[in-house]
Amino acid sequence: MAQFAEAHFFLIESVVKIIVVLFVLLTAVAYVVWLERKVVARIQSRWGPYWVGPHGLLQPLADGLKFLFKEDIVVQDADKVIYWMAPFLAFTLAFLSIAVIPFGGSFQLFGHTIQLQITDLNVGLLYVFAVTSLGVYSIALAGWSANSKYPLFGGLRSSAQMISYELSLGLGVVGVLMISGTLSLRGVVTPQVGFWHIAGIPFLPRWNVFRQPLGFLVYFIAAIAETNRIPFDLPEGETELVGGFHTEYSSFKFAMFFIAEYANMVTVSCLATLLFFGGWLGPLFGPYWLRVILPVIWFCLKVFCFLFFYIWMRGTLPRFRYDQLMAFGWKVLLPLGFLNVLGTSFVIAWLHS
Amino acid sequence: MKNIGIRDDTVRPGRSSGGRRRNAVFYFDLSEALPYTERMAKMLREVTGTVGALAKGFAVTFKTMFRPAVTENYPAEPVHFEGRYRGLHVLRRDENGLEKCVACFLCAAACPANCIYIEAAENTSDHRISAAERYAKVYNIDYNRCIFCGYCVEACPCDAITHGHGFEIASYDMNGLVYRKEQLLEKPPAAAAKP
């Protein structure tokens, strides 16, 4: 009987968590789009969305409605099955990785410990990398199946780019994994608790970014390339490829690519926060309920900073040329990643001897 | 030393390894016959230069975020025009409230779009419209054709036709875009309107 109740509780807990996380993520994605339009507008001395709701706050809703009611055009010579599959693939894979992202500590409810995470996989990081690498397929297939030249270019570019930068992405986090000795995203945060002290005064939180600055740099640059954002948005490249892999997509299928891109942005920002910036760690005070909520707030704030930086970068940097992109990925980022792994392992070996 | 910085695609006869293609910006030239320290210094200079340039760029865009927007909130607020904006034409009156136009046809002659139509008539002592001999009985501008080049305004010897700031002339009816003299004429001054 007790076992039965336990199973029930687990089921309900999981479903509630999934619903809440999905809802928050979808809303966040919608408002990252709004934020992006606003911030880029500010950089260009414009106002951005303004008319739909106060300060254009209902703009994402209007955009969503517009996408829903647009005509769904399918190219005549498209490979129909793959053409339909690609956006769904992109959408699904973008949302799968959020399952292992912890966004807070844990709390007690009805005698149960509830972790603020859908599931604490012990290979969480591997899982995220696996799922996000599958995302290449959606873009490559979208580019291929439309049977049109610009999408094909976009698809080819993206497969080359994402495969190249995935190596650096992996190498960037290896240093962190060596320090924490776990692939669980919850376990990665644990060694970052506390402060470094100088003469008894805490001056720096023990975040991995201070131990692995090079690793962070490599990870973050590779992550931007992985999410196809400016300055690495060659698969889309409006000015040269008319939108790249999603040129021939319209209506809600296009919206799915769009949402997937921003969901990926949120995912890599979450990952950067967890791996390098102490995840949900931050000052705690007040009563019990506040101590449960505050970590979530710290986590969201850190992720927000990353998202803001993404947008800021979009407003600042021009796009890479293709050969520059490849040369940078293979000749600079990858050696730097190796160097970081090598250096970290030497330091760890030296500390342990 | 002359190959510091961005290199081009040309094949350059190398000193050590013969002709090689070089085409990348992110290419640290490690094959030069420079001493090790100098090579490292070169590489470091390149990296610090890049980082500095990036920081500068990000600072610029961050600063512009706090600049006031230049957006005109048009339908909600009136548009701010520059003084020389070429909008809908206005036919001017002189200080006595008489029309300045003397029907000389110079504007119609200057018009490249051929959109000005004038019919002239003689002023008489009891029917005085302009200060000179003749006045424009009919003065039409066809805004289907007008390109707002301003040649008519330049051509006018009496400063009778000028550009105003009107621009909301969209219409469902082409006939409505042929503006008549009554629509183009400046309102008579209050003093002159009485008699």
The answer to whether position B5 is within a domain reads no
Could you report the per-residue pLDDT of B31-71, keeping only the tens digit for each? 556 777 887 888 888 888 888 999 999 999 999 888 888 88
How many domains is chain A partitioned into structurally? 1
Q: Is residue A47 part of a domain?
A: no
- How far is A70 from B76, CA to CA, in rounded Å? 29
Of A316, A331, A332, the CB nearest to B61: A316
Pick from A312, A327, A331: which is nearest to B61 by CB? A312
Q: Does residue B62 fall inside a structural domain?
A: no
Instruction: Say whether residue B21 is in contact with chain A using an 8 A CB cutoff.
Output: no
The domain in which residue B143 lies consists of 89-193
Residue B25: band (very low, low, confident or very high) from pLDDT cuts 50, 70, 90: very low
Question: What confidence category does residue B179 fall into, taking pLDDT thresholds of 50, 70 and 90?
Answer: very high
Which structural domain, as residue segments, surrounds residue A162? 76-101+119-351
Of A170, A144, A179, A175, the C-alpha closest to A159 is A144
Is residue A64 situated within a structural domain? Answer: no
pLDDT of residue B13: 47
Percent of chain A with pLDDT over 90: 12
Cα–Cα distance between A336 and A329 in angstroms, integer? Answer: 10
Cβ contacts (< 8 Å) between B70 and chain A: which residues?
A: 45-46
Residue A50 domain flag: no
ipTM above 0.90, yes or no: no
Q: Name which of B66, B60, B77, B132 is nearest B99 in CA terms.
A: B132
Considering only CB atoms, B27 lies closest to which of A44, A317, A327, namely: A327
In a domain, residue A327? The reply is yes
User: A50: distance to nearest CA of chain B, Å?
Assistant: 10
**A19, part of any domain:** no
| B70 in A contact zone (CB under 8 Å) | yes
In a domain, B52, yes or no: no
**A331 or A199, which is more confident:** A331
Lowest model confidence (mean pLDDT) among A142-156, B24-38, B111-125: B24-38
Share of chain A above pLDDT 70, in %: 99
* Interchain proximity B61–A315, CB inside 8 Å: yes
Q: Give the H/E segment covering residue A211.
A: helix A208-211
Asked if residue B151 belongs to a domain, the reply is yes
Determine the pLDDT at residue A2: 66
Per-residue pLDDT tens digits for A293-328: 888 899 999 999 999 999 999 889 888 888 888 888
Contact A48, A56 (CB under 8 A): yes
Q: Is residue B80 part of a domain?
A: no
Residues of chain A with C-beta less than 8 angstroms from the C-beta of B68:
45
> What percent of chain B stands above pLDDT 90?
29
CATH of the domain at B183: 3.30.70.3270
Taking only the tens place, the pLDDT of each residue in B151-174 is 999 999 988 999 988 888 888 999
> Collapsing DSSP states into helix, strand and coil, what is residue B105?
coil
What mean pLDDT is predicted for residues B100-113?
92
Does residue A267 form part of some domain?
A: yes
Arithmetic mean of pLDDT over chain B: 80
Per-residue confidence at B2, pLDDT binned at 50, 70, 90? very low
Residue A62 lies in a domain: no
DSSP assigned state of A173: H
Q: How far apart are CA A57 and CA A33, in angstroms?
A: 11
Distance in angstroms (rounded) separating the CA atoms of residues A239 and A247: 12
Q: Would you say residue B159 lies in a domain?
A: yes
Give a yes or no: residue B13 inside a domain: no
How many other CB atoms are there within 10 angstroms of residue A53's CB atom? 14
Q: Calculate how close chain B gets to A342, using CA atoms only, in Å.
A: 20
| Contact between chains at B69 and A316 (C-beta distance less than 8 A) | no
Per the CB < 8 Å rule, is A46 touching B71?
A: yes
Do the Cβ atoms of A45 and B24 come within 8 Å?
no
pLDDT at A197: 77
Mean pLDDT value across chain A: 85
B94 φ, ψ to 5°? Answer: -85, -170
Question: Does residue A42 fall inside a structural domain?
Answer: no
The three-state secondary structure class of B127 is coil
Would the CB atoms of B62 and A312 count as touching at under 8 Å? Answer: yes
pLDDT of B31 reads: 57
Count the domains in chain B: 1
The single-letter code of the amino acid at B89 is H
pLDDT, one tens digit per residue, over A45-104 is 888 888 888 888 898 889 888 888 988 888 888 888 888 888 998 899 888 888 888 887
- What is the structure's pLDDT at A1? 59
Mean pLDDT on B177-195: 76
pLDDT of residue A304: 92
DSSP string computed for B24-45: -SS-----SSS-HHHHHHHHHH
The minimum CA-CA distance between B166 and chain A, rounded to whole Å, is 25
Q: Over range A241-266, report the average pLDDT.
A: 85
What residue of B is the nearest CA neighbor of A313? B58
Per-residue pLDDT, B29: 55
